[in-house]
Structure 1
Amino acid sequence: MTSSGTNPMPGPPSESTGRTRGVSPGREEGPGGDVRAQVSAAWELLLPAASAPARRRGRALQAALRDAVRSGRLPAGTRLPASRALAADLGVSRGLVTEAYEQLTAESYLRAGRGAGTWVSGDVRPAAAQGARDMSPRAPGVRVDFRPGTPDLALFPRSAWAAAHRTALARLPHSSLGYPDPRGLPELRVALASLLTRRRGVVADPERVVVCSGVAQATTLLGFVLRGRGASAVGVEDPGSPEHASLFASTGLATVPLPLDDEGLAVEPLLRSGVSAVVTTPAHQFPTGIAYSAARRGALLDWARSTSGVIMEDDYDGDFRYDRAPVGSLQGLDPEHVVYTGSVSKSLAPGLRLGWLIAPASMTDEMVARKRTMDLGNPSVDQAVLADFVAGGGYDRQLRLCQRAYRERRDAMTEALDRHLPGTEVSGIAAGLHIIARLPERFGPEDEFLRRATAAGIALHPLSRCTAGARGAQDGTVRLVLGYAHVAPGAVEDGVRLLAEAVRRGSAAEA
């Protein structure tokens, strides 16, 4: 099979001698180190290729050799067996091996010289094997996570969703698996229009509903359209969602922080800002939890009408109300000046990446054109599943389930704070999935409080992170945005207790 002094690919043991065929007894080291071990492992990779169906055997052998070189199992400088010998060892025709050698030589994986045999080329630089990193915003090692923004993912209706998935796949015509209407499947737009009209008081024409990958994509769609119309900045609530600035920045727009008062976004600073568009959360302001007053809603709409301005309404948790009646959408009062956005991220799961926007008629075509260039539309099957889930009543049932569960957890949070951190003032508790907690001054300053919480394994989100410049409270108090929807009632109690114990231990140690 080989001559003395070569470093071939080994074969299976010979029945007559018991020795490994194709290995030169005196040459186990080469450019790749312990070549016998490396090449033997690579040879084993060829066995499945040799047993592939006849029509695919040649391509399988080429792929196996290519992968062996890429992975480093066959290092540069390794001499391969003669085609006749390898074919005999693998039980395939010599032509298959010859063809594989020629193809990989043409691709620069191998090199060959007349009378010199076939070798692994030095042109290939195998990449080190790496695992895929998980960049999702999780908190490993945290004992209790009170950060806001996440629903209880354990409440996701897996069985009902799976049933809707089977139904959708069974009814979808083959044509629906092609490129979709960038606005979304017609049946989902009709279902969403009916749902939003009934539950949120939205003026929802299915022709103006655009299905998006959550409110984040709706925000960027609006940003691109505004930028195309000559805008340079957008007004945002302060305090407000930190995500708005980065989303608009990705479209080339700056953001102008605008202050709030007890009724909502202050109008005078908005007038002085000169912006032509503003983002609001009027039903349940994030993070303060206030609902815009009727007078403030009217004043904002007057601003939009007098300046030809645009209001984006982020209705991120409009379906969750506990101690007061739901507040209807701002868009329902003037659909030609308000872009309405929402999603299933709080009601079902953010990982579904399903949301919607309803744009004024004057902006709809531009929104759709931009959506087309961004991703050609959301996945058709996922849209069909949501359409069936909404139309069949599953979405309403899910909202009722979550409403009961989240109200129980809100109550557990307020009671635990009263018990373990007495004197804490809470606000924004009538709706949503989080509360604002203002701790007594004795628990400050904020930096030290957060350090102790982190050491105790409690993840927190201070209100200061939602303000322009992330400025802390000027009076030295601690204000927290406490999410409770994703934390079981017992864990809420334990988390607040652990937090209180950590703070008191730190205070005692300093004393």
Structure 2
Amino acid sequence: MVRLKDQSGAVKGGPISGSDFLQLRAEDAPVKGLTAWLTAGLRDAIAGNRLASGARLPATRMLAADLKISRGVVVEAYQRLIDEGLATGRTGAGTTVIGNTHKSDRSSDRRKALDGIRLPLPPSDEIDIDLSPGVPDLSAFPRAQWLRAEKAVLDEITSQDLGYGDPGGTPRLRAELIGWLRRTRGIRAEPDDVIVVGGVAQALALLAQTLRRAGVTAAAVEDPGSRGARDQMAHWGVRPEAVPVDDEGIRVDRITQEAAVLTPAHQFPTGVVLSPARRRALLDWGGLVVEDDYDAEHRYDRAPVAALQGSAPERVAYAGSVSKSLAPGMRLGWLIAPRRLQAALLEAKHDSDLGNPAIPQLVLARLLASGDYERHLRLVRSRQRRRRDALLAGLRQHLPHATVTGVAAGLHLLILLPGPIPDTRLAEQAAASGVLVHPLSWHRLEPGAPGLVLGYAAQPPDRLAEAAQRLGRALTPP
């Protein structure tokens, strides 16, 4: 037990509970915010390098006894650190710090340089809550399942499995992918129709190269829409041309190009679903549909929407990946294109990299076959629902004048604010409060209504609630 003394050494007040560990005192916590207080204290200690990577946190029973608080509070605080990717916990081994939010000047400069390649950052060096869309919950990566599957793969593969293989991917993964995509997305294809790629970005690159060689110089893109998809097509010589999006999805009647790139199941960034009438009109249209199924696994309040590819496999090139379900660093995805394009796409894939690494493909195939991948998705979906709910509740409380859309699925939502202020300025105001968001105008080709795109997958519920409170202060008119 620790007793506070004044400068003369006399004990002040009654007995006070506390811990030598980070000099934590439960008396400093708000009445109804004990877990958030403890989490914030631990998080700040990691950010300030008082808890370095590899440091062991005290046993939950010990810290709870020191602070005279419920052990459940400590357990929940530790779990929040694990959810944020700042710590790892294993039965019998305790909880260990693995992350540090303090960046060196050099790494900070590199981050800014990389962000400059993609999107401009708001002018603030004080951002500590990043709500950039497109970032999944990296702390949820199924490490134990992946390790178990990888060990099993290494135990059973032959030397031949490690040689130069089919540039389209390992037969085992293509077979498992087709079975899973048939069940979950309504895909109509055979294993030989699959090309394993380094994410949707490479799928778009291969398609753009193939289209350009066939004389296609422009493609319709959703506006607003995925800036990354636009940039990828443009880099390979296919000019993106804006087609507006409304409450029913892309305006099919405005498409005049030979190809169209879109996100029909959950439009980025508005979150609308392509309506049945628009789906029929799109399939009646004569060009190639490039379907980016980027986050179909994440839905909460609506029934699943089947992929377009199942309705017209000869007209739709379907692309997906594990970037939003496992991690973008896996660089593992799939492309299922009309058969008339497959030879050219395989040639482009071979010329690009000879094919994806074999072992990660075989590990993913095993996760699919065992059911571990689907169990992981159900777990992640539950976590993301809680995060979505926390942000949505916070926005309704602190930004009641905002219109919030796109909440039924995905990993982000869109808020529309009344008034004439440009959304780039709104994003700067948010950044000044320490919250990074995307102005909707970043994702437009043509001028349109302002808005802010908020990703919630990478932050735990308490941080999302705090972000909403800060946004309310920063964006509410005086």
TM-score bin (small chain) = 0.7 to 0.9
User: Separation in 1 of the partners of 2:339 and 2:363?
Assistant: 28
The one-character-per-residue Cα deviations of 1:358-387 (angstroms, maximum 9, x if unpaired) are 011111111111100000000011111111
- C-alpha separation in 2, matches of 1:234 and 1:186: 32
Deviation track 1:93-142 (CA, whole Å, cap 9, x = no partner) reads xxxxxxxxxxxxxxxxxxxxxxxxxxxxxxxxxxxxx9995665598852
- What's the counterpart of residue 210 of structure 1? 195
* 1:462 matched residue in structure 2: 439
- 1:101 is aligned to none
Structure 1 residues not aligned, in runs of 5+? 1-129
Could you say which residue in structure 2 is the equivalent of 1:144?
A: 129
Deviations 1:61-111 (A, max 9, x none): xxxxxxxxxxxxxxxxxxxxxxxxxxxxxxxxxxxxxxxxxxxxxxxxxxx
Name 1:73's counterpart in structure 2.
none
* DSSP 3-state at the match of 1:468: coil
The answer on 1:236 being equivalent to 2:236 is no
1:254 maps to 2:239: yes
| Cα distance per residue 1:321-346 (max 9 Å; x no partner) | 11111000000001000000000000
**Equivalent residue number for residue 78 of structure 2:** none
Alignment of 1:390 with 2:368, yes or no, is yes
Task: Please report how far the alpha carbon of residue 184 of structure 1 lies from its aligned counterpart in structure 2 after TM superposition.
Answer: 0.3
Aligned equivalents of 1:448 and 1:480: distance in 2? Answer: 11
**Which amino acid is 1:282 matched to?**
P
Match of 1:158 among 139, 143, 158: 143
CA–CA distance in structure 1, aligned partners of residues 376 and 387 of structure 2:
17
Rounded Cα–Cα distance in structure 1 between residues aligned with 2:208 and 2:173: 24
Question: Match for residue 295 of structure 1?
Answer: 277
**Match runs of 1:306-345 below 5 Å:** 309-345=287-323
Which of 342, 353, 369 is residue 364 of structure 1 equivalent to?
Answer: 342
Amino acid at match of 2:188: V
CA distance in 2, matches of 1:446, 1:294: 32
Deviation readout 1:262-302 (Å, 9 max, x if unpaired): 222112211xx2x1110111111111111111111111010
TM-score, structure 2 normalization: 0.73
Task: Please name the residue that 1:173 is paired with.
Answer: 158
CA contact (8 A) 1:180 1:378 kept: no
Residue 427 of structure 1 is matched in structure 2 by: 405
Matched-pair contact (CA < 8 Å) for 1:258–1:266: yes
Counterpart contact for 1:149–1:483, Cα < 8 Å:
yes
Residue 258 of structure 1 aligns to a residue in which SS?
Answer: strand
**SS of aligned partner of 1:365:** helix
Size of the aligned set, in residue pairs, is 364
- Please identify the structure whose Cα radius of gyration is greater: 1
User: Counterpart of 1:502?
Assistant: 474
CA distance in 1, matches of 2:456, 2:362: 31
Unaligned 5+ residue runs, structure 2? 1-105
Q: CA deviation at 1:445?
A: 4.3
**Does the CA-based 8 Å contact 1:264-1:290 persist in structure 2?**
yes
Contact 1:194 1:204 survives alignment (8 Å): no
TM-score (norm 1): 0.68
Give the aligned residue type for 1:255. P
Q: Could you say which residue in structure 2 is the equivalent of 1:106?
A: none
Give the equivalent residue in structure 1 for 2:379. Answer: 401
Q: Hey, what does 1:413 align to over in structure 2?
A: 391
Aligned-residue CA RMSD (Å) = 2.0
Bigger relative CO (Cα 8 Å, ≥ 6 apart)? 2
Are the equivalent residues in 2 in contact too, given 1:215–1:342 (CA < 8 A)? yes
Q: Is the 8 A contact 2:424 2:439 kept in 1?
A: no
Structure 1 residues 391 and 137: CA distance shift in structure 2, 3 A: farther
Q: Secondary structure at the match of 1:162?
A: helix
Q: CA deviation at 1:487?
A: 1.1
Distance change in 2, residues 1:184/1:495 (3 Å)? same
Report the more deviating stretch, 346-355 or 239-248.
239-248
Name the SS for the 2:274 alignment partner. coil
Are the equivalent residues in 1 in contact too, given 2:126–2:431 (CA < 8 A)?
A: no
Name the CA distance, whole Å, in 2 between partners of 1:439 and 1:172.
56
Query: What's the offset of the Cα at 1:255?
Result: 1.1
How big is each residue's C-alpha offset from its partner over 1:239-277, in whole Å with a ceiling of 9 and x where there is no partner? 10011222112211111111122222112211xx2x111
Distance 1:503 1:424, change over 3 A: closer
**Do residues 437 (structure 1) and 419 (structure 2) align?**
no
The match for 2:264 is 282
- Percent identity between matched residues is 46
CA offset digits 1:407-437 (Å, max 9, x no partner): 1111111110011111211111111111111
